[in-house]
């Protein structure tokens, strides 16, 4: 992984974001994933064109990079994203084991353009019983069966 960010990769993310809006393909967000100085995956926001609320730029870029590398982990990669990742995308970046995040606009810029993620950050900070969407645990003992099956499975791919 490079020690310093490469502005050319951020320029590419910004270019993709602008093109995405101009082509009416989705929101003003794009991301590129880089390994060893080479772009291995790109993605732009396609929430409205795919009717998929998870189709954020970072998620699409992660999916494309994982397909390109035929793996579920992007350890040793960096992500350049046109805007600071939302909580969902940030979690996905962590799950993918990406080692560095570089962003252009921040969450305040996104809010000024009508994309305010502050509600999500506030909800995450609350205890699950205090959140606006009910989150209640049920059948916990029965649900443990899937974890026990995982523990007992002789062949599994750890992640």
User: Is residue 42 annotated as part of the catalytic site, yes or no?
Assistant: no
Q: Which helix (H) or strand (E) holds 26?
A: none
- Active-site residue, selected from the candidate residues 58, 122, 141, 158: 58
Please give the Cα distance from 88 to 150 (Å, whole number): 25
Half-sphere exposure at residue 95, Cβ-oriented, CA atoms within 13 angstroms: 12
Please give the Cα distance from 82 to 14 (Å, whole number): 5
Please give the Cα distance from 96 to 35 (Å, whole number): 13
Please give the Cα distance from 28 to 22 (Å, whole number): 9
CA 50 to chain centre: 17
Catalytic residues, which ones? 58
């Amino acid at each position: 992984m490079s020690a310093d960010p490469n502005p050319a990769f951020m320029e590419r993310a910004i270019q993709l974001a602008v093109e995405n809006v101009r082509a009416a393909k989705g929101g003003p967000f794009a991301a590129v994933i880089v390994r060893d100085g080479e772009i291995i995956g790109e993605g732009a926001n396609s929430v409205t064109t795919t009717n998929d609320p998870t189709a954020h730029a970072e998620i699409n870029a992660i999916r494309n990079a994982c397909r390109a590398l035929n793996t579920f982990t992007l350890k040793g990669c960096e992500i350049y994203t046109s805007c600071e990742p939302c909580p969902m995308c940030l979690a996905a970046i962590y799950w993918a084991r990406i080692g560095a995040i570089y962003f252009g606009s921040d969450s305040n810029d996104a809010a000024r353009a009508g994309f305010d993620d502050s509600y999500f950050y506030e909800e995450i900070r609350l205890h699950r019983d205090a959140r606006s969407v009910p989150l209640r645990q049920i059948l916990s003992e029965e649900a443990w069966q899937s974890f026990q099956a995982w523990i007992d499975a002789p062949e599994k791919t750890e992640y």
